[in-house]
């Protein structure tokens, strides 16, 4: 891969390519730079309803790109506090800025032990290298 992708060290990652930024009892999440690159140009993001609760690993919605439709998953059990409404009219934010403007949602997580199951940036990079081989 000749494209330079980023994986900020302050984030945690999943093997299904979501990122998580923990802040107290809440977490911001989206999809990784690797995921948006593999999907190609994103044209639509379906987000869950605020106030709904999900278990770790549940499907939260779909990401539609010019190549495919993919599901994304909740990395931590919790309640949806906020969704990035700007993605409805600007889904390209996920491609342009997956860790900033392209975030998906904020949750209040209910089981902090699940954070231990997430990968750090170094582990995630090793995982995607092995996956791409």
What are the tens digits of pLDDT across the range 60-74? 999 999 999 999 999
Q: Which residues contact 120 (CB under 8 A, 6 or more apart)?
A: 9, 12, 13
Share of the chain above pLDDT 70, in %: 98
Unique residue bearing structure tokens 């499907």: 59
User: What CATH number belongs to 12-109?
Assistant: 2.40.50.100
* Structure confidence at residue 1 as a pLDDT band (50, 70, 90): very low
- Average pLDDT in the 102-129 region? 97
What b/e sequence results for 21-50 when a residue is b if at least 16 CB atoms lie within 10 Å of its CB, and e otherwise?
A: bbeeebbbbbbbbbbbebbeebeebebbee
Structure tokens at 133: 């081989």
């Amino acid at each position: 891969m000749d494209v330079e992708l980023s994986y900020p060290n302050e984030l945690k990652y999943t093997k299904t390519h979501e990122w998580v930024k923990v802040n107290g009892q809440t977490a911001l999440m989206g999809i990784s730079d690797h995921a948006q690159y593999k999907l190609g140009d994103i044209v639509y993001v379906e987000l869950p309803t605020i106030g709904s609760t999900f278990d770790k690993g549940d499907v939260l919605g779909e990401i539609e790109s010019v190549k495919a439709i993919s599901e994304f998953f909740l990395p931590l059990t919790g309640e949806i506090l906020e969704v990035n409404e700007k993605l409805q009219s600007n889904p390209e934010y996920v491609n342009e800025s997956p860790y900033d403007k392209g975030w998906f949602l904020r949750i209040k997580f209910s089981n902090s032990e699940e954070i231990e199951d997430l990968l750090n940036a170094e582990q995630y990079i090793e995982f995607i290298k092995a996956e791409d081989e």
